[in-house]
Structure 1
Amino acid sequence: MNFKIFFLVILIILSISCSFINEDDGYSTGYYIFSILRVGDDSIKVIVDSTLSIKDSLNFKNNFVFDAIVKIDGESLSVESLDVDSFGYKYFYSLDKTVLPEKSYEIEVKVKDKIFTARSVTPKKINFSSYSDSSVLKIDSSLVLEWNSSGIGFYMLQINQKNEYGSFYFFEIGVQNDTFFSLSKLSYLFPDSGTYDFYIISYDSSYFNYLTDQNYSSFNDGYGLFGSVSVGSLKEVKLLK
């Protein structure tokens, strides 16, 4: 699963969906900030975008706030750019810093006379414990995927199907409180034998609230998300009917 692409697609959708103000009378620029910390990643990326007047043209340069002062735990981030295929260039603030599990991170973003702050506590490092990569398993009532608790209580189990062209999204299901899931419940999804990748994803409370409440913002003032995830994987698993 390419989480970098996933991260960028979310940011692009967010910037497109939140970039217009319909009335120019009394127009006041708003700001939104977006960052997802993934446990184990070796860098932190933050998007700082502004809303646009209906008279302004929508593009990454117009949206992106280049003169923001962005800090994570007091360390300053610098502006970088990334080529996103047909979308052109997308800008972001970046810091080379490994994201640790069970750690509190604080972000401060200063834009002109406005200061936005938020906090995220990363989940524990999460891993599957019942099987290993490249396992060959038969789909029956004894086939149960297990993982360690992340300390959060809600998990997303994602399944990717593999073929000669790569690994592709297949199905996902939420798991509340439990740290196991019986695949026999999904036996109807596997009419034939095949190879699959499994991902177990744990969200911090801020990210979970953002996903479940359309009005939620991590920041004390303004709009956006500063959240974190922990992701465990089980790859190249052969399922037999």
Structure 2
Amino acid sequence: MASHASEEPRAADSTIAEAVAAFREGKPVLIHDFADREGETDIVYPAESMTPEDVVRLRTDAGGLICTAIPDAVGAAFDLPLLDDALAHPSADGGDLGYDSRSSFSLPVNHRDTYTGITDNDRSLTIRKLAEATANPAGTDFASEFRAPGHVHVLRAAPGLLSERRGHTELGVALAQEAGVTPAVVVCEMLDEETGEALSPADAQSYADRHGLVYLEGSALVEQLG
């Protein structure tokens, strides 16, 4: 992927309504967070619609870590800890993060119907099952359905979503809630193979244009949904 870090993304960003419509159709949305935060664009999918082909797109066109973000209340219902709280090791002190006060990582899991858990089929199954569990936490025995460690990283959103934290975890869950779909989303960072850094916003928007996808600035989501 070519990088043009000095270019600015075009001003005519897609609207929240277009992003909501895409999510309702099970399509991905590209979300850039903030230049003074991670400065990354993630491909974000509603988890309930994840297919093996979608996993292929994430690992080949994005290249970052494939994670599933869920609301805080769902994480609490399943007793899922924040990973830096659960790890009994000095390295779990994440107080020196340059872009935030904490990480949203919880446990990495596989669904128990998977084999190794890493294949496109296995990961898409685990993701869809996480969405089903999110839609019905009271009717889900999490430990009976999922095992840890696994290959799909679960992210636990901040309780106040965008009013409390503005990571891709919260941006994606807030968009899913606005769209009225199950509030579990798949996020994966877009990386630049030429620079070894995050894909620039201009190149991310060019990718969205080529593939007919919505590109959205996180600031627009915060302004309308925060």
TM-score category (smaller protein): under 0.3
Bigger radius of gyration, 1 or 2?
1
- What is the TM-score normalised by the length of structure 2? 0.27
Greater share of helix residues, 1 or 2? 2
- What is the TM-score normalised by the length of structure 1? 0.26
Greater share of strand residues, 1 or 2? 1
More RCO (CA 8 Å, sep 6+):
2
